Amino acid sequence: MSKVITPEEAALLVKDGDRIVMSGFIGMCHPQELTYALEDRFLKTGAPKDLDLFFPTNVGDGTDKLGMNHLAHEGLLRSIVGGHWNLVPALQKLVTENKVKAWNLPIGTLAQLLREIAAKRPGVITKIGLNTFVDPRLQGGKMNDITDEDLVELMEIDGEEYLRYKPFKQINIGFIRGTYADENGNLTMDKEAAFLEALPMAEAVKNTGGIVIAQVEDIVQNGTLDPKDVKVPGIMVDYVVKGTPANHWQTYMDPYKPEFSGQIKKPLDALTPMPLNARKVISRRAAMELVPNAILNLGIGIPEGVANVANEEGISGLKMTVEAGNIGGVPASGVGFGAATNPEATVDSPALFDFYDGGGLDEAFLGLAECDRNGNINVSRFGPKIAGCGGFINITQSTPVVVFCGTFTAKGLKEEFGNGTLTIVNEGQVKKFKNDVEQITFSAEYAKKSGQKVMYITERAVFELRDGVFTLTEIAPGIDLQKDVLDQMDFVPAVADDLKIMDERIFMDKPMGLSSKS
């Protein structure tokens, strides 16, 4: 029997009340043809309804036009479990209006959970999430008032605390994506920018009695594919759908960039240096913390600038990694985040998170959205705005050196940089340093117990956790400590006895002359 079906036939396989898991990472590897067909069926017929949606990473572009936003119809979904939410505002709205039950749990842990479900083990048992909002002693990852089921429980093993992320007993439908499939359903991912969780996702669905449907660019004859290129074997794929080019872009950035998937290597010496602005200043100060041959993870936003500064300064030997599974090369930004130009290797996302969780990274540079008096960080929730924790908790709880990067204030901030100084022209309206954060995405208490080095770098001040105390250690040249720093905080931090002035080279419009250890 042929495994090839149409998108419409695929949508008919989804039944009322099914749990459905979907692949994708921002704009990569998402079977958009299948998502649209499912939406179209619901809008025309009202079926299927009351689905339980499960995704490690959301897929969207920050509007309601792409990806999983097309599932945000009242009645279609009953519950959502997801790791990253920032780019699916339509789904966020369902959550904040109590139209669906919802949980936000770490991407890495959800990716690993697929393997545990496939093997019918008792879930993921890990320290990841302790003392953060996913800890059941806090919110347990629950996102609204109607969410009542506990998906995470606290355990003790050999006198140490762990969290157990409970497995789903059944996943009825899996939507995955690849590049080519043969007539038996063997799936390759030649032109995909990452592999993500395609294999464990298919295994989890099949081993719990579900149906796996793969969207591909094209279907080829049996015997055509090199068996070593097959990422999901046909025994785990029930049906194959050929996608249209419009719904099979490599990322939401471009239909296809061969340098993302290893078909070519692109020269990197033509990368344009960043202009001298707050982002570059922060990235420069952060780059001064780089150590030779470090294995790194860079978060979305301002931290991405660290790679640009390293390239501009000729700092070599660094190994950038992206939680989607890419190692080496230059990570892409924006809606291309997760991909990398000229990666040296690409592995399954759960495998890379194993490496992260075990302390494999040397340093991590991540965003700074809100910080409290204890040094806790919130990047996951701001009232009705749900960004989600993403891979933030996996990365920050396991890496020996963690550097948070962001501007000191937000909304309306205008500054001038040059000649070795900083001038604040217009102060931001929103303070980022608050007595308490809305959610704890990074726990300073856990970091102290773990012995991590933690820094908080802004364009005008640098803070560190010193013996668990949030401490101001540097200020920028040209600013007033009281007016520009302390008065812009909701609390008074400890101030180091040896308070320093930030290196004036950071504020000059020319290369700094950095080495990997400045």
Q: What is the pLDDT of residues 150-209, one digit of tens each?
A: 999 999 999 999 999 999 999 999 999 999 999 999 999 999 999 999 999 999 999 999
Give the contacts of 45 (CB within 8 A, at least 6 positions apart): none
**Catalytic residue check, 9:** no
Please tell me whether residues 295 and 161 are part of one structural domain.
Answer: no
Average pLDDT, stretch 397-417? 97
pLDDT of residue 269: 66
Please tell me whether residues 302 and 155 are part of one structural domain.
Answer: no
Residue (of 264, 219, 255) closest to 239 by Cα position: 219
Share the mean pLDDT of the chain. Answer: 96
Which CATH number does the domain housing residue 32 bear? 3.40.1080.10
Please tell me whether residues 318 and 449 are part of one structural domain.
Answer: yes
pLDDT(516) > 60: no
Please tell me whether residues 159 and 288 are part of one structural domain.
Answer: no
pLDDT(518) > 60: no
pLDDT of residue 311: 84
42 in Cβ contact with 76 (< 8 Å): yes
pLDDT of residue 297: 97
Please tell me whether residues 138 and 207 are part of one structural domain.
Answer: yes
Q: What is the pLDDT of residues 265-309, one digit of tens each?
A: 988 765 678 999 999 999 999 999 999 999 999 988 888 889 889
Tokens of 363: 């340093």
Please tell me whether residues 228 and 314 are part of one structural domain.
Answer: no
Three-state SS for 498? strand
Tokens of 166: 């409970």
49 in Cβ contact with 16 (< 8 Å): yes
Average pLDDT, stretch 121-141? 99
Asked, for residue 266, whether it belongs to a domain, the answer is no
On the CB side of 312, CA atoms within 13 Å amount to 19
Average pLDDT, stretch 302-318? 88
Please tell me whether residues 230 and 288 are part of one structural domain.
Answer: no
Please give the residue range of the domain that contains residue 204: 7-245
Please tell me whether residues 297 and 169 are part of one structural domain.
Answer: no
Q: Domain tally for the chain?
A: 2
123 in Cβ contact with 165 (< 8 Å): yes
In percent, the amount of the chain with pLDDT more than 70 equals 99
Asked, for residue 256, whether it belongs to a domain, the answer is no
Other beta carbons within 10 angstroms of residue 386's beta carbon come to: 25
Q: What is the pLDDT of residues 221-251, one digit of tens each?
A: 999 999 999 999 999 999 999 999 999 999 9
Q: Which is catalytic among the residues 217, 259, 312, 323?
A: 323
Q: What is the pLDDT of residues 453-494, one digit of tens each?
A: 999 999 999 999 999 999 999 999 999 999 999 999 999 999
Please tell me whether residues 122 and 212 are part of one structural domain.
Answer: yes
Q: What is the pLDDT of residues 39-59, one digit of tens each?
A: 999 999 999 999 999 999 989
Asked, for residue 267, whether it belongs to a domain, the answer is no
Residue (of 280, 262, 213, 221) closest to 9 by Cα position: 213
Asked, for residue 454, whether it belongs to a domain, the answer is yes
Q: pTM value?
A: 0.95
Phi, psi of 58 (to 5 degrees): -75, 160
